Amino acid sequence: TQLLEQSPQFLSIQEGENLTVYCNSSSVFSSLQWYRQEPGEGPVLLVTVVTGGEVKKLKRLTFQFGDARKDSSLHITAAQPGDTGLYLCAGRIYNQGGKLIFGQGTELSVKP
Amino acid sequence: DTAVSQTPKYLVTQMGNDKSIKCEQNLGHDTMYWYKQDSKKFLKIMFSYNNKELIINETVPNRFSPKSPDKAHLNLHINSLELGDSAVYFCASSQDLAYNEQFFGPGTRLTVL
């Protein structure tokens, strides 16, 4: 059974602070995605990382894929209240018909 | 012009009833999915269809039966509803099986009393 351990599950910080969310697995993924979900809505894709060691930046968000393609991190610099939401990592399994394995999610609350 | 739509948004029903959730995508995608998100926000795949063909059936009880009348629709019918079926159900689509990004619908919150 493939598992993707995401931590922390809950994070409450002040505006302007930095934070990092981690996703770890013993499985190798063909790619890893990060989604953000607002209350009452479906997840929306933020980024896909494909190559081991890859780093992608999206404004104040930095995403990294581990060299062995088993782990990933999301770093937010100078968090803002608008960053509040549920962040989900999802690993794509090789040759399993588009199947995504999701982490447990990180509920981020950024207080002004 | 919603990309992936689901109806209903909320569904409250009694144990033992049968209910359906409808999903439609207007993105021209080949692949569609059903996910279940539990009370702890954990999202787990249930089914995927590619060009109306079942690809993934993730050990879901056979009370759950997906039906894909065409590429743009993937409906979920649930028989003999149980308390443990209460969750948010998300439909999603992707261009094809090889394409990474999945587009999610707004979800259907099912409450079984």
Q: pLDDT tens-digit profile of A54-105? A: 999 999 999 999 999 999 999 999 999 999 999 999 999 877 767 899 999 9
- Check B55 against A98: CB less than 8 A apart: yes
- Selection from B92, B100, B75, B85 nearest residue B35 by Cα: B92
Closest residue on chain B to A32 (Cα): B100
Residues of chain B contacting residue A100, judged by C-beta atoms under 8 Å apart: 45, 102
What chain A residue is nearest to B50 in terms of C-alpha separation? A97
Rounded Cα distance, B6 and A56, in Å: 32
Q: What is the DSSP letter of A73?
A: E
CA dihedral B56, B59, B62, B65 (to 10 degrees): -30
Beta-carbon contacts of B98 under 8 Å, excluding residues fewer than 6 positions away, are: A98
Q: What is the dihedral of CA B57, B60, B61, B62, to 10 degrees?
A: -20
Contact B104 A31 (CB under 8 A): no
Confidence at residue A1, expressed as pLDDT on a 0 to 100 scale = 61
CB contact set of B58 (below 8 Å; sequence gap of 6+): A99, B44, B45, B46, B47
Share of chain A above pLDDT 90, in %: 88
* pLDDT for residue A10: 97
Q: What percent of chain A has pLDDT over 70?
A: 97
Cα–Cα distance for residue pair B74/B33, rounded to 1 Å:
8
Contact B58, B44 (CB under 8 A): yes
Task: State the Cα–Cα distance between residues A95 and A43, nearest whole angstrom.
Answer: 23
Mark yes or no for CB contact B56/A31 under 8 Å.
Answer: no
Helix H or strand E encompassing B22: strand B19-25
pLDDT band at B1 (very low <50, low <70, confident <90, very high): low
The answer to whether the Cβ–Cβ distance between B104 and A88 falls below 8 Å is no
C-alpha A17/C-alpha B27 separation (Å) is 38
**Higher per-residue pLDDT: A106 or A98:** A106
Q: What is the DSSP letter of B40?
A: T
Asked if the Cβ–Cβ distance from A42 to B107 is below 8 Å, we say yes
- For CA atoms A109, A70, A45, A97, the dihedral sign is negative
- What is the pLDDT, as a whole number, of residue A41? 94
- Per-residue confidence (pLDDT) for residue A2, from 0 to 100: 63
Mutate to test the interface with A, among B6, B46, B100, B101 (most CBs of A within 10 A): B100
The tens digit of pLDDT for each residue in B2-30 reads 799 999 999 999 999 999 999 999 999 99
The candidate with the shortest Cα–Cα distance to A61, out of A21, A107, A6, A2, is A21
Residue A5 pLDDT: 94
pLDDT tens digits for range B33-92: 999 999 999 999 999 999 888 888 887 899 999 999 999 999 999 999 999 999 999 999
pLDDT for position B97: 83
**Taking the CB of residue A40, how many other CB atoms lie within 10 A of it?**
10
The rounded Cα B107 to chain-centroid distance in angstroms is: 8
A56 touches chain B (CB under 8 A): no
Task: Collect all residues with Cβ–Cβ distance below 8 Å to A36 and sequence separation of at least 6.
Answer: A43, A44, A46, A85, A86, A87, A88
Residues of B in contact with A104 (CB under 8 A): 40-42
Tens of pLDDT, residues A30-39: 999 999 999 9
Residue B96's pLDDT band, with cuts at 50, 70 and 90, is confident
What are the chain B neighbours of A33 within 8 Å (beta carbons)?
A: 100-101
- Residue B104: list chain A partners with CB under 8 A: 42-44
